[in-house]
Structure 1
Amino acid sequence: MTQFKHGFYTLFIMAVAILGCLALSNWLLPLGGILLILQLACAIVALTTSRFYGLLAGVAGALSFNYFFTEPLHSFQIAEVEDSINFVVFIIVAILISELAVYVNSQQHALQVVKTQSSVLRSVSHDLRTPLSTIIGSVETYMTYQDKLDDIERQALLKGVHDEGKRLYVYVENLLQATRIEHNALALNLTHVNLTAFLANLESRINSGRLKVINNSDSHGITVSESLFEQALFNVIDNALKFSDDSVLLMVSHSDGEFKFQIADKGEGISDEQLQAPIQLFQTSRRSDSGKGGIGLGLSVAAGIVHAHGGAIKLSNTTPGLLVSITIPKRD
């Protein structure tokens, strides 16, 4: 699909440039001006697509220059030495532009990698420090005052350590999955899973009375990578529970050869700009973290896992709250 889009885009840009040159040639635009316009079109294609399409645009530009603008017209023969030189120079310039475009794109990618690494470092300092500080503080309190604490206070401290330890485990697991997604190394182990049992395990893992599960699917099983897909749904539901004090609804349905999982909360939602933008790794998904999380890593990891299954994830604001719709294709 991407190749088709790039091919159509290249054809469109070059066609516009050639038609523009033909129109301007009626006003006695010199050959040098025509060459510059065609080379500009080649540069646009090379910078916005790839080396191959840049070279393809260069060849198309050179041939069209020869066919439409050099004597004899409407022929690929070249009568003048100057036109031959222009033809060769045009090809050379197109090659150089394509190579320059590759270099520029690689530099942009390297810059994006650096920005991502910086985001990771900032997020780790926040998302690891918070649960670790709680764990260390609780353990120090327990060790220092254990003789003065009653059973209820001891249980509260231990529960805090346990909860923050689970939070830390989830974050580290998401960080590992994010790294695999970033390097296209996410391995799917597809198995046929009993949907009812799968949802029961997920509900048990969430362990929140605010989660309501409604299964309207008439199918008994779904083919997914069980641990990964459970992690994806867990991340979305956990995110919804963080940003909403009311109940969170998980609705499951099955139709037209696909499963749909919809997670609805009654929180603050997200901005229209964020709704239009693709979900990216290490990017905050809500307007404010409010001390409840760092960079929205869980939602982006969920999106990566869903896409690896050939599915789709869509975010939409409700009144109030956020609705996350996940579709997974049915596999026999």
Structure 2
Amino acid sequence: MRWLHRRHLLPVLVFFTAMFVSLGIDQSLGSTIAVLLILQLSIVIIALQCHSRMAYFAAVAEALSFNFLFTDPRYSLRMFHQDDMINLVVFVAVAFTTSQLAERYRRQQNALKQMRLRHQILLSVSHDLRTPLAGIIGNLTTIKEYSAQLNEAEKNELLDSAITESHRLHQYIENLLQATKLQHGVVRINKAQESILHILKNVIERFSSSSERVSVDVKGSVKLLEVSRALLEQALFNVLDNALRYSPKDKAVRVTVEQNHEQVVIDIYNQGQPLKPDEAENMFELFYSGGEKKSADSGSGLGLSVAKGVISAHQGTIECIDVKQGCLIRITLPSGQQG
């Protein structure tokens, strides 16, 4: 039913469940108060889970239903008993008050979430901007002050290190900007027919010296996907970067690509330490970096969150699959989606 939007499904289910239970109570116990309490509980559930306007609408609908189904004369909107009138007025007043309180609670939770997000951004920026900047400044200062004492190989090594830190800084800023856009829902998805294998090849080449640690296995033929090349490349880079960071240097990161029915499945597996349950559950959360204390190699906690946002924007999924050893990230993308 196209008219029934997914966000309307919960209040509709709660409404009809409350009606069904109330009819059962009315027939078995004949208690008007019990019926009102059941209906009131349904309003609380709707108010907490949905927009306040939906709760107001449900309150009016349930008030009319109470009048029509549970008060004398039955199956009429007229009311003869003063107690029923008072009960109905109290029900509507409590329902509207509950909806307003739920909306206020929701706003407070959003404000708290935004405050925590700003705090996390400040902590992340203070660490993830300072570290590569310190490396760049240190390397360039060393070259400038000790140029006469350094041979060509040492200078090149310092310059290569500065370039690496520059790329790290650039990637962090890109992820931070993308995370901000995803949080505010302003990312533009400009799709075109692209080869996922070609995108993956470009991603692996970006790792230069670490690219030989990545093995790719393509099972069968893979169709072109209608995706945003730039965004998907960034998402895959973030996942692969995370896999390489936490994988032993002598172990390969395995990437498997396969098309199943109407979707393409990309598995990225590293042979590092197995994840704890809470790490697997929270690894795609913004600024989660897998531990209480951040180390130089722990990452910013931005990459996987951005990857999840990008994949979700393509109507795909990304999840951590439970394996005995290492970490397996599975990405699925619909192969038949239209722009």
Fold-level similarity (TM above 0.5): yes
What is the Cα deviation at residue 295 of structure 1? 3.9
Contact 1:306–1:328 (Cα < 8 Å) also in 2: yes
What is the Cα deviation at residue 22 of structure 1? 3.2
| Worse-matched range after superposition: 272-281 or 241-250 | 272-281
Q: Provide the secondary structure at the position in 2 that maps to 1:252.
A: strand
What is the Cα deviation at residue 306 of structure 1? 0.5
Q: For residues 53 and 132 of structure 1, what CA distance do their matches in structure 2 show?
A: 50
2:230 alignment counterpart: 227
Contact 2:68–2:76 (Cα < 8 Å) also in 1: yes
- Cα offsets for 1:224-262 (capped at 9, x unmatched): 111110111000000000001121111111120211111
Q: Provide the secondary structure at the position in 2 that maps to 1:11.
A: helix
Q: What is the 5 A alignment of 1:55-204?
A: 55-67=56-68, 69-73=70-74, 75-204=76-205
Q: What is the 5 A alignment of 1:32-43?
A: 35-36=36-37, 38-43=39-44
2:245 alignment counterpart: 242
CA RMSD of aligned residues (A): 2.5
1:213 equivalent to 2:216? Answer yes
What is the Cα deviation at residue 219 of structure 1? 3.0
Contact 1:314–1:325 (Cα < 8 Å) also in 2: yes
What letter corresponds to residue 63 of structure 2 in structure 1?
A
Change (3 A) 1:19 1:287: farther
- Cα offsets for 1:260-307 (capped at 9, x unmatched): 111000112322234345832222346875431344210110111011
Contact 1:13–1:45 (Cα < 8 Å) also in 2: no
1:22 equivalent to 2:23? Answer no
Aligned length: 328
What is the Cα deviation at residue 146 of structure 1? 1.0
What letter corresponds to residue 195 of structure 2 in structure 1?
N
- Cα offsets for 1:83-114 (capped at 9, x unmatched): 32432342233223222222211111111111
What letter corresponds to residue 235 of structure 2 in structure 1?
A
Q: For residues 57 and 183 of structure 2, what CA distance do their matches in structure 1 show?
A: 30
Q: Provide the secondary structure at the position in 2 that maps to 1:212.
A: strand
Q: For residues 59 and 267 of structure 2, what CA distance do their matches in structure 1 show?
A: 48
Q: For residues 330 and 173 of structure 1, what CA distance do their matches in structure 2 show?
A: 27
Q: Provide the secondary structure at the position in 1 that maps to 2:206.
A: helix
Provide the TM-score with structure 1 as the length reference.
Answer: 0.89
| Worse-matched range after superposition: 215-224 or 300-309 | 215-224
Contact 1:14–1:41 (Cα < 8 Å) also in 2: no
Q: For residues 251 and 201 of structure 1, what CA distance do their matches in structure 2 show?
A: 16
- Say which of 260, 264, 276 aligns to 2:265: 260
1:282 alignment counterpart: 287
What is the Cα deviation at residue 144 of structure 1? 1.3
Change (3 A) 1:13 1:151: farther
Contact 1:270–1:287 (Cα < 8 Å) also in 2: no
What is the Cα deviation at residue 160 of structure 1? 0.7
Q: Provide the secondary structure at the position in 2 that maps to 1:319.
A: coil
Q: For residues 172 and 185 of structure 2, what CA distance do their matches in structure 1 show?
A: 20
Q: For residues 178 and 316 of structure 2, what CA distance do their matches in structure 1 show?
A: 17
Change (3 A) 1:10 1:48: farther
Q: Any gaps of 5 or more consecutive residues in structure 2?
A: 1-5
What is the Cα deviation at residue 60 of structure 1? 4.2
Change (3 A) 1:287 1:11: farther
What is the Cα deviation at residue 323 of structure 1? 0.5
Percent identical:
36
Q: Provide the secondary structure at the position in 2 that maps to 1:148.
A: coil
1:298 alignment counterpart: 303
Change (3 A) 1:195 1:47: closer
What is the Cα deviation at residue 53 of structure 1? 3.3
1:2 equivalent to 2:7? Answer yes
1:12 alignment counterpart: 17
Q: Provide the secondary structure at the position in 1 that maps to 2:256.
A: strand
